[in-house]
Amino acid sequence: MAIVYDTYQRDEAARLLPLLKVDDARRVVALHDGLTVTAAQFVAHVQRVAAQLPEAPAAVNLCEDRYAFLVAFCAIALRGQANLLPPSRAPQAVAEVMAAHPGCHAVGDRPLHPAPHRYHVLPPLPVDEAVSGEMAWPAIPALQTVAVGYTSGSTGTPRSNAKSWRSLHASTAGNLALLQRVVGEQFSVVATVPPQHIYGVEMSILLPLLGSVQVHSGRPFFPSDIANALEEMPVPRVLVTTPVHLRALIASGVSLPPLAAMLSATAPLPPELAGEAEQRFHAPLLEVFGSTETCAFASRRVTVESCWSLYHGVHLHPQPDGTQIEAPQLDAPAVLADIVSLHDEGRRFELRGRHADLLEIAGKRASLGDLTRRLLNVPGVEDGVVFQLDEADAIGVRRIAALAVAPALDEHGILDALRASIDPVFLPRPLRRVESLPRNETGKLPRAALLEMLHA
């Protein structure tokens, strides 16, 4: 068995996989500064940037413009380096990632003050220049580590996860199959999530590389900017977003151009929000399930079904403390903290909660996810979260706390409303009313930020 595995590893190490799908050098990859970028122009930009990168094992990719990030991502990989994707762009987070990767450098598309150590600004990327001559279409070794993603820190300290080019090819095949079933072979993407997040990498960087997809280079934030970006893209259009951004879009009353589909991830999507979004924007809303460790591996349309459908080749094996997953993008089985029950001979599953979210106090059980849902259902609560503290009380029970955005209520009123639906042992104490939650760029709540706000 060892000989067979060693042979497989040697074969994989020697295998090259294309940097991008090339069925036509004129295929549009992106819309940048209002101009379309063809595959030939894109490769020319990648090769120009790659030639200027210093020797190093890795580089932090801090580009804000999505097309600049795409070019830098591929140029870094083409030089045999890994893209380091910190959990945030905060200087301290960047410095910690760079300290963990000695000898690395950083690249961006604009000057930074203060700038990280060995920081390089990309050269201009003119998309109106002609590309002449025969193109040499680049490829990358299958087992080369091209990216190192970091978890958000919502359950503790951010953890690193290395991604090979083979792994990203495999995970992108599943994402393309999902979207192509709904919108067709070719489509365009506008994304509100940052490209540094693994969800942003999967749905706005890898899709235009490996499928007949073009992406908008911006990262629109305000509802009117999202509408304008969508208007610039050809049909069929896909909006890649998060529950937080969806809420803002609906609350704004903005009108969006026709959409073929919407895609959501990074946080649980309440069925009520999904139904409102579909009714408001007249398009199916697909939710994808995955993690930094696994990439996306399942999907559902929550307005139609509660169960998740697994991507082709993915298998789940429930365990007492979580779920083992086998997937084409994983070199070895991984263990998820999620508790699931399988249906339809293992092709679909229902999420029962996360092992770390399950609470047991005085012989009674609950989950942090369900408690948060009940907090959000209190009339007047606009946003909120329930979480467990690290320290235990005198009898060894870890207390439950909550933060709530509720301008018209006070803490006592919120607790009184929760008593109607929550067992008293699970009432959050302390519960603090705050102006806003410390959500990061994808809407997640880093645990350290929650604790800091609670104790402020």
pLDDT tens per residue across span 411-440: 999 999 998 888 888 888 889 999 999 888
Whole-Å CA distances, 313 to 35, 292, 309: 38, 19, 12
Report the C-alpha gap between 402 and 384 in whole angstroms. 7
Confidence band, pLDDT 50/70/90 cuts, at residue 264:
very high
pLDDT (0 to 100) of residue 6:
54
pLDDT (0 to 100) of residue 10:
62
Q: For 79, phi and psi rounded to 5 degrees? A: -85, 5
Contact predicate 316/324, CB 8 Å:
yes
The 10 Å CB-count burial string (b at 16+, else e) for 212-238 is bbbbbbbbbeebeebbebbeebeebbb
Contact predicate 358/339, CB 8 Å:
yes
Q: What's the alpha-carbon Rg for the chain, to the nearest Å?
A: 23
Report the C-alpha gap between 119 and 106 in whole angstroms. 5
Q: Rounded to two decimals, what is the model's pTM? A: 0.83
The highest-level CATH class for domain 2-305 is alpha beta
With a cut of 70, say whether residue 145 has pLDDT above it: yes
- Alpha carbon 75 to its chain's center: 22
Mean pLDDT (the chain, rounded)? 89
Q: Is 192 left (phi over 0), alpha (psi -120 to 50) or beta?
A: alpha
Could you tell me which residues come within 8 angstroms of residue 6 by beta carbon, excluding any fewer than 6 positions away?
A: none
pLDDT (0 to 100) of residue 5:
46
* More confident position, 248 or 370: 248
Q: Taking residues 117-128, what's their average pLDDT?
A: 88
Q: For 175, phi and psi rounded to 5 degrees? A: -65, -40
| pLDDT tens column, 33-92 | 999 999 999 999 999 999 999 999 999 999 999 999 999 999 999 999 999 999 888 888
Report the C-alpha gap between 56 and 67 in whole angstroms. 23
| pLDDT tens column, 312-357 | 999 999 988 889 999 999 999 999 888 899 999 999 999 887 656 6
Neighbours of 37 (CB within 10 A): 26
Whole-Å CA distances, 382 to 242, 405, 419: 16, 5, 18
pLDDT (0 to 100) of residue 104:
97
In the chain, list all ranges with CATH 3.40.50.12780: 2-305
Report the C-alpha gap between 153 and 291 in whole angstroms. 12
Assess if CATH 3.30.70.580 describes domain 362-455: no
In the chain, list all ranges with CATH 3.30.300.30: 362-455
